[in-house]
Chains A and B, each alone.
Chain A
Amino acid sequence: NAGVMQNPRHLVRRRGQEARLRCSPMKGHSHVYWYRQLPEEGLKFMVYLQKENIIDESGMPKERFSAEFPKEGPSILRIQQVVRGDSAAYFCASRTQPTGELFFGEGSRLTVL
């Protein structure tokens, strides 16, 4: 059973470009969470999704950021018109229902030039 898969692992964008980060949850997991880790800071919750539904996006900036988890395919975190302050590691986690244990991917590290 493969773990949570994130790609790309590293992404470089220039200011104003778009970044798309993908997350494939563990098999059988229908709950996905995105977190952001800024340099020298802790992990901050961004958004919680179930298949085809955004459950909680209270941690996501209101502008430029969006997330989806379609019926088929990976969850996508999209950042439009990136700025230098978006440079961070973005982690995805998934869980199944019974225990509430979250499993994290290796992260996607975004660098904005």
Chain B
Amino acid sequence: KQEVTQIPAALSVPEGENLVLNCSFTDSAIYNLQWFRQDPGKGLTSLLLIQSSQREQTSGRLNASLDKSSGRSTLYIAASQPGDSATYLCAVSFSNDYKLSFGAGTTVTVRA
């Protein structure tokens, strides 16, 4: 069964600290991986998309790495801010229809 796991389920850090969010998946034959942000009661905002052939992607303070052989992706958020408080979701496409399988998410709280 193709599964996506995110650990920890919750994380609390002081403002300014770097955030490291982990995602693991059971099948290395992936098509792509997306990181999303979800605020309470809201939709999903796409943060980064990593294609199967890529090792990392960067956007501003965000950097995501992909290691298919070990079945892992890591999202780094530099110099965290209270506005970064949200749930971060990792999603993997295991097939060429790009249907996504989601992890349960990591809920981040950045303390001012």
Per-residue CB contact flags for chain A residues 35-57 toward chain B (1 = under 8 Å, else 0) read: 10000011111001000000110
Would you call B51 and A91 a contact (CB within 8 A)? Answer: no
Once A and B bind, how many residue pairs between them come within 8 Å at the CB atom?
58
- Choose among A56, A99, A102 the residue that contacts B100 (Cβ–Cβ < 8 A): A102
Of the candidates A56, A91, A103, which one forms a contact with B46 in the assembled complex, judged by CB atoms under 8 Å apart? Answer: A103
- A22 on the B face (CB < 8 A): no
The proximity string for A residues 75-113 relative to B, scoring 1 for CB distances below 8 Å and 0 otherwise, is 000000000000000010101000111111111010000
CA distance A33 to B31 in the complex (A): 17
**Is there a chain A Cβ closer than 8 Å to B24's Cβ?**
no
Stretch at the interface among B36-44, B58-66, B68-76: B36-44
Q: For the complex, what is the distance from the CA of A41 to the CA of B104, rounded to whole Å?
A: 7
A48-B99 contact given A43-B89, A100-B31, A102-B34, CB 8 Å threshold? yes
Q: Which residues of chain B are within 8 angstroms of A48 by Cβ–Cβ distance?
A: 97, 99
- What residues on B are CB-neighbors of A42 within 8 Å? 89, 102-105
Contact A33 B51 (CB under 8 A): no
> CB < 8 Å: which of A33, A56, A101 contacts B49?
A101
Q: Do A101 and B102 have beta carbons less than 8 Å apart?
A: no
In the complex, the answer to whether B101 meets A104 with C-beta atoms within 8 Å is no
A56 vs chain B, min Cβ distance (A): 6
- Chain A residues contacting B91 (CB-CB under 8 Å) are 43, 102
* Distance in Å: Cβ of A83 to nearest Cβ of chain B: 23
CB-contact partner of B99 in A56, A105, A107, A109, under 8 A: A56
CA distance A55 to B41 in the complex (A): 29
Q: Which residues of A contact B100 (CB under 8 A)?
A: 33, 45, 93, 102
